[in-house]
């Protein structure tokens, strides 16, 4: 799979996918999109990188770090990062679930407020976005963990 | 006077808070954490003491939607039980600081002990059936942890599991009984789980239960629950096994408090179920246990085992007392609750001292210990004489009242009802026998081979001494205890107004004769103790096959065998089989749901389907058929892609933008994943196996039918505009959720709880894959 053609395509396509993913994620509350879709699309982008290059490419090719050889894929630094990501997502999700209780509202209460920003104009700011961040992180972290572990087999 | 809720909450909650802190504290101060336990128990004891004399129910809301509240009821019975639990708690913690010196895992030990004390106080005060169940099961869980204190010993594990299965199983009966009771109560009184209103309106509740035919089932469920908890025949066998726990645990949980939870609950609901059926089930169960326990105690060769069977026997006495209709029953049950806690906890502490100092618990290896352990010998004398029911010791008074209850029942019932007093007398003869035998550990000849026995440390003998002091007080001035709490307690368990009288007999009557027969026969037979024991032993071996323990083991091994067979059929390691079972179960359950809802067959409504949609779906169908006939994985995957993308296009045409996006993205991801694993897969499918194909075809048909029906059912309101749910979401999305994408607002706001669950599923899936794939090489291969 690591042919020149796939690599060139990946180089061009991956940034576009990532931008689209982020915009889908952000506009989710008012237009098609959201945490899950954005997350899965991000995963697709990373998956493309893996297929075109390999698991270590993000570390040595993009971040320019030395890759240490780990005993098992579970201890691989990238996989550990994904694991942390979905753990973080879970924490965000649970925190946003119970934060409403601090204000005396039931579990999972969400709040929203319109604010005006220069350049962007009217923006709807909803606490549901935090919840969505949690979902996004869980989807990205979880699927990429599965993906890289299965891919390493 | 009304009790104060915050004091009760404090008394019950403090041990739990302390339990959470204990492991942390253990790291800082080491085993001195035991003194912290003493302080907590003393604080709870003090808090409860302030409530003495008060009566009433207080509550604070917990789950209002289910009508469940943190509701505490204070009366004599609750206070007696709570004071016993916390008071003996103080002594047990004191004792444990020395007894458990140098033992491992003390953080866990004290944590479980504290949590147990909180649960038992919760049971004492709970006036809500669900709350009662919760605390009831918590005591079982704590007991499990404490019995299994020696986690690496097989016997410890076995006993802990046995106690857990029996007592928690009994707890489930309690839950079922509580639910049945609440059904009966729901129509009669408001607050279906409110035990105090149920008891206040008991006549209407029992009438409703009787008219529904639920009275006897509810009574039986409560009886089974208490039988499991309070070690009644035939569920008594876990109690002697539980003696593998450290002695402070045996003294606290398995003699003084936890096993009395069942008896206590019987006392609570006694006014409700009071009647002939109640006597038939409860009194018979109690009296049989009283007899069986006493006989097995005579058989015992280990001092803790002797005490365990004796505990079962005395619990039987209390259960039987509560079972009798006579007002003496309530008095005897409550009075003996106190007496038994005092003398039996003391005896367990003595057993601990003997084992600690002499290094053995075997009855035949012990004797003449009074020289080295004079204080302990004094305590033992007081406690055993009280246990044997010898006048003027405390145990005599409560046992005498129980005899009166049995006598009265026999006189009223006649005929077979004489079974009660006769069995009670025979059981009491055995009680006298084993009590004397225990006393003979200190008085009798010294057998050979007893090593040097050193004097007991003060911290060990002091708690036993305090309990013996309690026995002396109740023996010398029973009216003191009666006025303080017993009268109030007996009134809580009685139907009519009662007043407990405890005095030495002045003239001969039936019950007095019963006591005299028991006492003198016991003393007369005692010289032939070992011969009696040998005879009983032979009888015991003969009935080995029908022993409850044997049945329990058989039941357990059968369960394991059956589940192993089921597992090999359902979870045989092939993903195909797993999928088959999961899908089939889901479809059958869905189908059953539709059948019970009685929806009838859905009518397919085609309406005006645009040509484009028909075209797209037509391609999808063709692709679906093509998949099942492909030869290789590559074509299969690609055809599956066609199917997926056609469905995405269908979503777009049906203006489901979010669905279409998700479908497209997931489809792409699936393709990529297939690309990853493609190299690992065989290029061609294996040979055709017709039986498998037909099985899979049946499953496909079932799944397809269920899905189609689900779609038709859910979509059938579309013709006349939006459904009610859809309209609600549409109207509230912007103002309530602050977003104009309804799908996303539903996901993150309206139905965020579902999303939360799904996200956790993703995490679990990721963790499972990680663990399965990375750890499969690490040992544990079968």
Tens-digit pLDDT profile for residues B44-64: 999 999 988 888 888 888 887
Closest CA–CA distance from residue A24 to any residue of chain B (Å): 10
Q: What is the mean pLDDT of residues B673-692?
A: 72
User: Is a pLDDT exceeding 70 seen at residue B215?
Assistant: yes
The per-residue pLDDT for A68 is: 65
Residue B751's closest chain A neighbor by CA?
A: A108
Interchain pair B748, A145: CB under 8 A: no
Q: How far is A128 from chain B (nearest CA, A)?
A: 6
- Nearest residue of A to residue B652, measured between CA atoms: A32
Interface check A81 vs B, CB under 8 A: no
Distance (Å, whole) CA B257 – CA A46: 61
Report chain A residues whose CB lies below 8 A from the CB of B680: 153
B334 within 8 A of B267, measured Cβ to Cβ: yes
The 3-class SS string of B213-266 reads: CCHHHHHHHHHHHHHHHCCCCCCCCHHHHHHHCCHHHHHHHHHHCCCHHHHHHH
Mean pLDDT score, B259-267? 93
Cα nearest neighbour of B754 on chain A: A108
What pLDDT shows up at residue B286? Answer: 94
- Is the alpha carbon torsion for B222, B223, B224, B226 positive or negative? positive
Nearest CA distance, B667 vs chain A (angstrom): 10
Give the distance from residue A44's alpha carbon to the nearest chain B alpha carbon, in angstroms: 6
pLDDT band at A18 (very low <50, low <70, confident <90, very high): very high
* pLDDT > 50? residue B515: yes
Give yes or no for B738 touching A (CB within 8 A): yes
Handedness of CA B228, B232, B238, B241 (dihedral sign): positive
Indicate the residue of A30, A146, A150 with minimum beta-carbon distance to B739. Answer: A30
Selected residue of A13, A50, A135, A141 to mutate for chain B interface (largest B Cβ count, 10 A):
A135
pLDDT (tens digit, 9 = 90+) per residue, A85-104? Answer: 988 998 998 888 888 777 77
pLDDT at B62: 83
Residue B168 contacts residue B133 (beta carbons within 8 Å):
no
**What mean pLDDT comes out for the span B205-223?**
89
Q: A 7-36 residues with CB below 8 A of B?
A: 24, 28-36
Please write the tens of the pLDDT for every residue from B761-773: 888 888 888 888 7
- B346 has pLDDT over 70: yes
- B-chain residues within 8 Å CB-CB of A72? 774, 777
- State the residue for tokens 């002594």: B91
Q: Which of B634, B744, B753 should be substituted to probe chain A, the one whose Cβ sees the most A Cβ atoms within 10 Å? A: B744
Q: Is B734 on the interface with A (CB under 8 A)?
A: no
Residue, of B723 and B291, whose pLDDT is higher: B291
Residue B466's pLDDT is what? Answer: 93
Give the pLDDT of residue B450.
Answer: 66
> What would the pLDDT profile of B126-147 be if each residue is shown by its tens digit?
999 999 999 999 999 999 999 9
The ranges assigned to domains in chain B are 278-525, 723-782
Among the partner residues B675, B738, B752, nearest to A131 by beta-carbon distance: B752
Which of A110, A128, A153 faces B773 most closely, judged by CB atoms? A153
Cβ of residue B597 closer than 8 Å to a chain A Cβ? no
Higher pLDDT, B359 or B379: B379
pLDDT at residue B428, as a whole number:
95
Could you tell me which chain B residue has the CA closest to the CA of A130? B748
Query: Mean of the pLDDT values across residues B645-656?
Result: 89
Q: Give the mean model confidence (pLDDT) for residues B490-516.
A: 87
Contact at 8 Å (CB) between B502 and B509? no
How many Å lie between the alpha carbon of B123 and the closest alpha carbon of chain A? 29
Q: What ipTM does the predicted assembly reach?
A: 0.85
Contacts of B656 in chain A (CB under 8 A): none
Please state, rounded to an integer, the average pLDDT across all residues of chain B: 87
> What is the reported pLDDT for B782?
41
In this structure, of B516-525, B556-565, B683-692, the range with the lowest mean pLDDT score is B683-692
Is B560's Cβ below 8 Å from some Cβ in A?
Answer: no
Residue B662 has phi, psi (to 5 degrees) of: -60, -45
Q: What is the pTM of this model?
A: 0.78
How many angstroms separate the CA atoms of B162 and B144, rounded? 9
Separation between Cα atoms, residue B337 and residue B74, nearest integer Å? 17
pLDDT tens digits, B168-179? 999 999 999 999
Rounded to the nearest angstrom, the minimum Cα separation between A108 and chain B is: 7
What confidence tier does B11 reach under pLDDT thresholds 50, 70, 90? very high
Average pLDDT rounded to a whole number, residues B291-296: 93
* pLDDT value for B656: 82
A3 touches B: beta carbon within 8 Å: no
Under a CB-based contact definition with an 8 Å cutoff, are residues B312 and B294 in contact? no
Q: Does B657 touch chain A (CB under 8 A)?
A: yes
A108 against B115, higher pLDDT = B115
Quick one: pLDDT at residue B781?
Answer: 47
Q: Where are the beta strands (DSSP E) in B270-364?
A: none
């Amino acid at each position: 799979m690591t042919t020149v053609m796939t690599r060139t395509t990946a180089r061009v396509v991956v940034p576009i996918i990532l931008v689209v993913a982020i915009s889908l994620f952000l506009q989710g509350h008012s237009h098609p999109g959201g945490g899950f879709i954005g997350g899965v699309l991000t995963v697709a982008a990373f998956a493309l990188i893996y297929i075109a290059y390999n698991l270590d490419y993000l570390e040595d090719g993009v971040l320019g770090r030395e890759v240490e050889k780990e005993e098992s894929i579970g201890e691989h630094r990238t996989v550990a990062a994904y694991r942390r990501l979905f753990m973080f997502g879970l924490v965000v999700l649970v925190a946003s679930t119970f934060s409403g209780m601090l204000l005396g509202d039931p579990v999972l209460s969400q709040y929203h407020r319109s604010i005006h920003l220069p350049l962007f104009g009217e923006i709807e700011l909803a606490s549901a976005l935090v919840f969505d961040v949690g979902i996004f992180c869980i989807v990205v972290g979880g699927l990429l963990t599965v993906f890289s572990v299965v891919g390493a087999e | 006077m009304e009790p104060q809720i915050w004091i009760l909450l404090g008394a019950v909650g403090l041990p739990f808070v302390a339990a959470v802190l204990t492991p942390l504290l253990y790291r800082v101060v080491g085993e001195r954490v035991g003194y912290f336990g003493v302080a907590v128990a003393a604080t709870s004891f003090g808090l409860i003491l302030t409530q003495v004399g008060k009566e009433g129910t207080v509550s604070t809301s917990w789950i209002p939607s289910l009508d469940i509240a943190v509701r505490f009821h204070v009366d004599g019975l609750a206070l007696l039980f709570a004071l016993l639990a916390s008071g003996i708690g103080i002594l047990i913690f004191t004792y444990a600081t020395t007894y458990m010196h140098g033992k491992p895992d003390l953080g866990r030990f004290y944590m479980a002990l504290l949590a147990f004390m909180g649960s038992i106080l919760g049971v004492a005060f709970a006036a809500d059936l669900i709350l009662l169940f919760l605390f009831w099961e918590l005591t079982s869980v704590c007991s499990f942890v404490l019995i299994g204190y020696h986690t690496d010993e097989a016997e410890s594990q076995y006993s802990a599991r046995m106690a857990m299965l029996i007592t928690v199983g009994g707890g489930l009966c309690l839950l079922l009984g509580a639910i049945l009771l609440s059904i009966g109560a729901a129509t009669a009184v408001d607050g279906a789980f409110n035990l105090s209103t149920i008891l206040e309106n008991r006549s209407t509740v029992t009438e409703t239960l009787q008219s529904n035919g639920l009275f006897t089932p509810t009574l039986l469920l409560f009886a089974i629950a208490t039988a499991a908890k309070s070690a009644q025949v035939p569920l008594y066998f876990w109690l002697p096994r539980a003696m593998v726990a450290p002695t402070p645990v045996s003294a606290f949980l398995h003699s003084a408090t936890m096993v009395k939870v069942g008896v206590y609950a019987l006392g609570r609901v006694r006014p409700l179920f009071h009647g002939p059926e109640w006597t038939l089930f409860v009194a018979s169960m109690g009296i049989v246990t009283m007899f069986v326990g006493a006989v097995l105690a005579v058989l015992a060769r280990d001092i803790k085992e002797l005490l365990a069977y004796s505990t079962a026997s005395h619990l039987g006495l209390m259960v039987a007392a509560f079972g009798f209709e006579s007002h003496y029953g309530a008095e005897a049950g409550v009075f003996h609750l106190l007496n038994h806690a005092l003398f039996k906890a003391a005896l367990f502490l003595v057993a601990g001292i003997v084992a600690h100092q002499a290094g053995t618990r075997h009855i035949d290896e012990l004797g003449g210990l009074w020289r080295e352990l004079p204080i302990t010998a004094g305590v033992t004398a007081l406690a055993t004489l009280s246990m044997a029911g010898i006048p003027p010791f405390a145990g005599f008074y409560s046992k005498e009242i129980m005899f009166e209850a049995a006598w009265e029942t026999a006189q009223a019932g006649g005929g077979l009802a004489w079974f009660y007093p006769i069995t009670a007398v025979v059981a009491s003869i055995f009680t006298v026998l084993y009590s004397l035998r225990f006393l003979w550990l200190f008085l009798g000849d010294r057998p050979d081979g007893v090593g040097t026995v050193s004097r007991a440390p003060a911290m060990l003998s002091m708690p036993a001494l305090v309990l013996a002091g309690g026995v002396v007080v109740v023996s010398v001035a029973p009216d003191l205890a009666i006025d303080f709490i017993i009268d109030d307690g007996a009134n809580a368990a009685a139907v009519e107004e009662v007043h407990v009288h405890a005095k030495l007999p002045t003239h001969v009557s039936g019950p007095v004769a019963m006591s005299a027969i028991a006492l003198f026969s016991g003393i007369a037979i005692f010289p032939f103790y070992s011969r009696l024991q040998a005879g009983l032993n032979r009888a015991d071996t003969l009935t080995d096959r029908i022993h409850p323990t044997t049945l329990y083991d058989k039941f357990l091994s059968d369960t394991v065998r059956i589940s192993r067979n089921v597992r090999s059929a359902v979870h045989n390691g092939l993903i195909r089989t797993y999928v088959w079972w999961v899908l089939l179960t889901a479809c059958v359950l869905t189908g059953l749901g539709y059948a019970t809802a009685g929806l009838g067959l859905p009518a397919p409504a085609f309406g005006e389907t645009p040509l484009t949609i028909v075209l797209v779906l037509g391609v999808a169908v063709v692709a679906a058929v093509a998949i099942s006939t492909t030869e290789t994985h590559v074509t299969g995957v690609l055809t599956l892609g066609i199917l997926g993308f056609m469905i995405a296009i269908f979503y777009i045409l049906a203006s489901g933008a979010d669905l279409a996006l998700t479908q497209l993205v997931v489809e792409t991801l699936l393709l990529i994943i297939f690309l990853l694993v493609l190299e690992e897969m065989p290029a061609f499918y294996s040979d055709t196996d017709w039986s498998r194909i037909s099985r899979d075809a049946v499953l496909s048909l079932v799944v397809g039918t269920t899905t189609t029906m689900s779609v038709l059912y859910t979509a059938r309101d579309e013709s006349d505009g939006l459904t009610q749910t859809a309209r609600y979401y549409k109207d509230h999305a912007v103002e309530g959720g602050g977003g104009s994408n309804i799908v996303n607002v539903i996901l993150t706001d309206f139905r965020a709880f579902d999303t939360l669950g799904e996200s956790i599923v993703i995490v679990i899936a990721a963790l499972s894959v990680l663990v399965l794939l990375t750890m499969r090489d690490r040992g544990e291969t079968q």
